[in-house]
């Protein structure tokens, strides 16, 4: 018992130390975001700022309605896109896991090929324009909506672990495939669906590429793209002031970078704890079964 107690104590200490080490970079980012730019240039990055300043957040939220509007665009795109992507991936995974489906192995190979080969940017762009996915909110959702093959195989492998007797019993009772999928398989696959929800949610939340390629209307800019533009403008202004010899003017480029990180990762930090209990189980089981 004493050996077990000592082992548990050492394990808890190691976990606590590791958690603290993981927390330090995040804390450093936060402290830099509220540090005066001159203090950063003078002393570098520090956990204990010489001079506090919220000017970086003031720069970001100047004309705050645009930031809040971009926040809402990102939230809508993330929620709608993630929900639809999970639904499509779950249905495709159920189809590939259903042994009564003919040529399911051929379909699996078809999806696997897309993990290796890509058509490229130009066909992707031309296809989106042909479908009318420019300067509308669908341009931020649909191009990323087609499921990731990795997520698909994760779901399929998890569903392969569900006993076939459940499907057979439901079929005998007169249930069709939609009923079996939504009432039996999807509730049993909550861990893996929560796992891919996190993957899809992160992809949609951090996606700025679609906005660069397909969006010209500023009212449709997602948060990531708007903040990316803000940082670029500040860097450009800093270069212009240096060329003009105005060394006494310092724009908060470093603190703005860190404040941007804090602003953008907030929703993900609140989302992850709710999905964490499913994440490891869904990832491990989905990757080893089948």
pLDDT in tens, 99-122: 888 888 888 888 888 777 777 788
Q: Would you state the pLDDT for residue 85?
A: 92
- pLDDT exceeds 60 at position 267: yes
Q: Would you state the pLDDT for residue 84?
A: 93
- Phi, psi angle pair for 35, to nearest 5°: -105, 145
Rg (CA), the chain: 24
CATH number at residue 205: 1.10.3720.10
Write out the residue range of the structural domain in which residue 120 sits.
64-288
In a domain, 177, yes or no: yes
3-state secondary structure of 35: strand
Angle, helices 64-97 vs 223-243, to 10°: value is 130
In a domain, 57, yes or no: no
- pTM to 2 decimal places: 0.77
Are 59 and 260 in contact, with CB atoms under 8 Å apart?
no
Are 73 and 53 in contact, with CB atoms under 8 Å apart?
no
Any residues with CB less than 8 A from the CB of 9 and at least 6 apart, and which? none
Mean pLDDT of 155-178: 83
3-state secondary structure of 119: coil
Q: Would you state the pLDDT for residue 81?
A: 92
* Domains: count for the chain: 1
Q: Would you state the pLDDT for residue 239?
A: 67
Cα 111 to Cα 165: distance, rounded to the nearest angstrom: 27
- pLDDT exceeds 60 at position 58: yes
Any residues with CB less than 8 A from the CB of 118 and at least 6 apart, and which? none
Are 263 and 227 in contact, with CB atoms under 8 Å apart?
yes
Closest CA to 181 of 118, 101, 241: 101
Are 94 and 181 in contact, with CB atoms under 8 Å apart?
yes
- pLDDT exceeds 80 at position 202: yes
Sign of CA pseudo-dihedral 88, 178, 154, 201: positive
In a domain, 19, yes or no: no
Cα 232 to Cα 77: distance, rounded to the nearest angstrom: 24
Centre a 10 Å sphere on the Cβ of residue 161 and count the other Cβ atoms it contains.
15
Position 76 confidence tier, pLDDT thresholds 50, 70, 90: very high
Cα 4 to Cα 97: distance, rounded to the nearest angstrom: 43
Q: What percent of the chain has pLDDT over 70?
A: 82
Cα 93 to Cα 155: distance, rounded to the nearest angstrom: 5
- pLDDT exceeds 50 at position 290: no
8-state DSSP, 160: H
In a domain, 247, yes or no: yes
Q: Which tokens go with 41? A: 């240039």
In a domain, 111, yes or no: yes
Half-sphere exposure for 233 (CA within 13 Å, toward CB): 8
In a domain, 119, yes or no: yes
């Amino acid at each position: 018992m004493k050996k077990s107690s000592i082992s548990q104590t050492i394990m808890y200490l190691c976990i606590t130390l590791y958690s603290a080490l993981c927390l330090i970079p995040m804390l450093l980012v936060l402290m830099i975001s509220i540090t005066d730019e001159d203090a950063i240039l003078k002393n570098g990055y520090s956990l204990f700022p010489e001079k506090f300043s919220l000017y970086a957040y003031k720069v970001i939220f100047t004309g705050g309605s645009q930031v809040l509007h971009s926040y809402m665009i990102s939230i809508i795109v993330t929620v709608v896109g993630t929900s639809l992507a999970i639904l499509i991936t779950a249905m495709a995974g159920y189809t590939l896991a259903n042994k009564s489906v003919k040529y399911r192995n051929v379909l699996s190979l078809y999806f696997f090929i897309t993990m290796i080969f890509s058509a490229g940017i130009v066909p992707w762009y031309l296809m989106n324009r042909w479908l009318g996915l420019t300067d509308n909110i669908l341009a931020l959702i649909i191009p990323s909506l087609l499921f990731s093959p990795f997520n698909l195989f994760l779901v399929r492998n998890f569903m392969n672990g569900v006993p076939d007797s459940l499907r057979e019993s439901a079929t005998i009772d007169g249930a069709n495939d939609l009923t079996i999928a939504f009432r039996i398989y999807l509730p049993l696959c909550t861990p893996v669906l929560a796992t891919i929800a996190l993957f899809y949610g992160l992809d949609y939340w951090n996606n700025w590429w679609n906005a660069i390629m397909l969006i010209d209307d500023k009212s449709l800019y997602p948060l990531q793209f708007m903040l990316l533009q803000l940082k670029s403008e500040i860097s450009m202004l800093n270069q212009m002031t240096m060329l003009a010899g105005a060394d006494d003017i310092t724009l908060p480029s470093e603190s703005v970078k860190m404040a941007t990180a804090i602003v953008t990762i907030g929703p993900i930090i609140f989302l992850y704890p709710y999905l964490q209990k499913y994440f490891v189980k869904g990832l491990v089981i989905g990757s080893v079964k089948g």
